Each structure stands twice: as C-alpha cells, then as structure tokens.
C-alpha cells in the first residue's frame, strides 16, 4: 500500500519534532521532491512492510511475532524494537533511508507484555533519531508507570536520540555500548514556504479564513511575525515538557537536563552525566537480562506483585 505523503508531510512541517537534524533531513529528502514534483532523481517509494524488524542476537531466542515483539529466556523476557522515526498513529513502514514506528503500537506491544504473566521483564531495543512530539510523552509516561509492574530496560543499539531518549529515560535502566549515542534533548520545527516556487509555476493561492490565527504558518506566503511568536510559544512549552519529564524519570535536576543544550553524547560521557547507567554491548546486555530466567520453569511473580500490577494498570 502506498504511503500517504501529504499526511506524512503534515507530521514533519509546522509541528514540533523531537528529532535530530539528520533525522529531519532524511525524511525531507524523500518528501520534498514529491511535494515539489521534482522526481528526476531516483527516490525509492515508501511501502508498507510486514516483515518484523531486525532482532537482537541472543543465546536465548524464542518465538517472534510479526508485530515485532519477541520473547527470550523461556518466554520470560519480552524484547520490543523501537526503531526508526517515531510517529503518532502510523504503522511500521520502511524506506530507502528509514522506517516509521508508532507510539500507539509500541504501547500496545508493551501492554501485551505487561499482561502476560509468563513475561517477567521487558527490554526495549532502541535505534532511533527521534520523531514527533505528539504522542511521545504519553508513551514515556506509560513506560515510567509500567516499570513499577515489571523491570523495563532500555538497550541503546545504537542510538536513542530526542524522542527516542525521551522514552529510554522513562525505563528502569539505560544500557549503552561503546559506540552508542544518546541525548538531543531539544525541540526542532520547520516551516516550508513555497510561494516563490508557486510563482515560478504560475500558481497563486488566495486564502479566506476567520480567526486571526487560522492562517498562521501558511506555506503560500512568507511567515508572519505573529506566526513566529506562536511557533516559539509551542516550542517553549514542548521543551519545558521534555526537559522536566526527563529530569523526573532520571531523578536529576531540570537545569542539568537543560544544560545539555540538545547535545549528542557518547556512551561514557552519558554515563558520567547520569543520562545512562551501564556500559556493555547489546549482545551482552540482552544475555545478562535473560540469564536469570534461563533455569526457571514457571513465573516467579508473587500474588502480591500481581495485585500491585493490576492496581497500577487501572491507573494508566
């Protein structure tokens, strides 16, 4: 099934993004030629792909389902890939440069793992440059509350930037490898103005509207000071939410998170700054998580723990 490019464009332009500069540019390189009609260069089409994402190698693999979630260690550990651009209300899509993942589908996979009494622990396998602000905090808060039910580990394999780090920070623990990267705790937004292109093509749009802000950010004319002020207000609020949430999840002062100024951090610096917890390869990490469950034949969760889980689920 072909991707709805106008809908995808609405998720990229004129909306706050929790993504690296590189991630934004990668999507634009696919979208802009289609928006402008300049398809002279070879750009593969984005297509729906029902194949599960690449799995972490482990000594304890079990079955994998097409949703992308799989279990290891006799079904005791669920591994959920968090790969590609993170979006709201979209499915798993691949392209020449990237893939898209849905916050809602990730939460659904986590919910199934939380409700499965055989599963004792969850590992989120991160490799993402971030994505949309919309829907990100909802998933992160869900992860943060759910870690009271079962341990939730973030394995950075190999990037967890911006929206990716937002969700990794909510986990019980963040494990990074020597070449992993985390951070980019900031917000970015782009406005695409095409009035010069439209003039060149002989096109002119006349917009009729009611409400002073209804036409803010129109691509058919230069951006107004009023629209700039509104955009900056949205960015300020999203940045406040991002930094305060990460500080809460990681148990550090908000100013310490603000002081990162959206930098990208390597593994050792991230650990030194309190942005990550342990250093090991993804293979070592997943096997360390699996090892305690390899000799167990049945779940070890107590009745009291199950009652606590039910109480927390009712609050989510």
Confirm whether 11 is domain-assigned.
Answer: yes
- pLDDT value of residue 253: 98
Confirm whether 215 is domain-assigned.
Answer: no
Confirm whether 311 is domain-assigned.
Answer: no
Whether the Cβ atoms of residue 205 and residue 198 lie closer than 8 Å to each other: yes
Provide the token pair at 48.
């729906």
Q: Which of 167, 201, 160 is nearest to 183 (CA)?
A: 160
pLDDT in tens, 193-215: 888 888 888 988 898 999 999 99
Backbone angles phi, psi at 66, to 5 degrees: -70, -15
Residue 287: which CATH number? Answer: 3.90.226.10
Task: Using DSSP bridges, classify how beta strands 93-94 and 47-48 pair: parallel, antiparallel or unpaired.
Answer: antiparallel
Q: Which residue has the higher pLDDT, 97 or 12?
A: 12
Mean pLDDT for the chain overall: 83
| CA distances to 184, 270, 283 from 178, in Å | 18, 11, 12
pLDDT in tens, 271-312: 999 999 999 999 999 999 999 998 766 555 544 445 455 455
SS3 73: coil
Whether 269 shows a pLDDT value over 90: the answer reads yes
List the domain range (segments joined by +) for residue 55. Answer: 5-190+222-305
Whether 43 shows a pLDDT value over 50: the answer reads no
pLDDT-derived band of residue 41, with 50, 70 and 90 as boundaries?
Answer: very low
Confirm whether 30 is domain-assigned.
Answer: yes
Confirm whether 264 is domain-assigned.
Answer: yes
Q: Classify residue 208 as left (phi > 0), alpha (psi -120 to 50) or beta.
A: beta
Whether the Cβ atoms of residue 245 and residue 140 lie closer than 8 Å to each other: yes
Confirm whether 179 is domain-assigned.
Answer: yes
- pLDDT value of residue 4: 56
Confirm whether 206 is domain-assigned.
Answer: no
- Buried-exposed string 128-163: b where 16+ CB fall within 10 A, e elsewhere: bbbbbbbbbbebbbbbbebbebbbbbbbbbbbbbbb
Cα–Cα dist 264/247, whole Å: 17
Do you find a cis peptide bond into 158, omega within 30 degrees of 0? yes
Confirm whether 316 is domain-assigned.
Answer: no
Q: Which residues does residue 183 pair with via DSSP β-bridges, in sequence order?
A: 161, 264
Whether the Cβ atoms of residue 56 and residue 287 lie closer than 8 Å to each other: no
Cα–Cα dist 95/76, whole Å: 33
Whether 94 shows a pLDDT value over 60: the answer reads no
Task: Please state the pTM of the whole predicted model.
Answer: 0.82
Whether 96 shows a pLDDT value over 70: the answer reads no
Whether 98 shows a pLDDT value over 90: the answer reads no
How many domains are there within the chain?
Answer: 1
């Amino acid at each position: 099934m072909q991707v709805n490019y106008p809908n995808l464009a609405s998720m990229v332009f004129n909306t706050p993004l929790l993504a690296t500069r590189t991630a934004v540019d990668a999507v634009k390189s696919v979208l802009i030629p289609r928006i402008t009609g300049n398809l002279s260069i070879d750009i593969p089409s984005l297509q729906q792909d029902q194949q599960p994402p690449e799995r972490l190698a482990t000594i304890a693999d079990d079955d994998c389902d097409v949703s992308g979630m799989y279990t290891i260690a006799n079904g005791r550990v669920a591994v959920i890939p968090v790969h590609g651009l993170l979006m709201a209300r979209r499915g798993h899509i691949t392209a020449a440069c990237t893939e898209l993942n849905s916050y809602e589908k990730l939460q659904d996979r986590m919910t199934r793992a939380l409700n499965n009494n055989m599963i004792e622990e969850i590992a989120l396998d991160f490799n993402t440059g971030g994505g949309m602000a919309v829907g990100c905090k909802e998933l992160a808060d869900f992860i943060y509350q759910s870690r009271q039910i079962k341990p939730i580990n973030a394995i950075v394999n190999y990037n967890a930037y911006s929206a990716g780090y937002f969700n990794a920070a909510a986990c019980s623990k963040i494990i990074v490898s020597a070449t992993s990267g985390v951070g980019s705790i900031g917000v970015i937004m782009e406005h695409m103005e095409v009035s010069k292109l439209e003039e060149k093509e002989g096109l002119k749009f006349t917009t009729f509207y009611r409400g002073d802000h209804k036409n803010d950010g129109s691509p058919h004319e230069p951006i107004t000071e009023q629209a700039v002020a509104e955009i900056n207000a949205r960015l300020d609020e999203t940045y406040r939410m991002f930094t305060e949430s990460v500080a809460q999840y990681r148990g550090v002062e908000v100013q310490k998170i603000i002081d990162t100024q959206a930098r990208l951090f390597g593994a050792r610096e991230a650990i030194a700054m309190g942005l990550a917890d342990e250093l090991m390869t993804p293979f070592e990490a997943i096997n360390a998580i699996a090892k305690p469950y390899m000799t167990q034949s049945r779940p070890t969760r107590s009745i009291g723990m199950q009652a606590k889980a039910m109480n927390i689920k009712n609050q989510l």
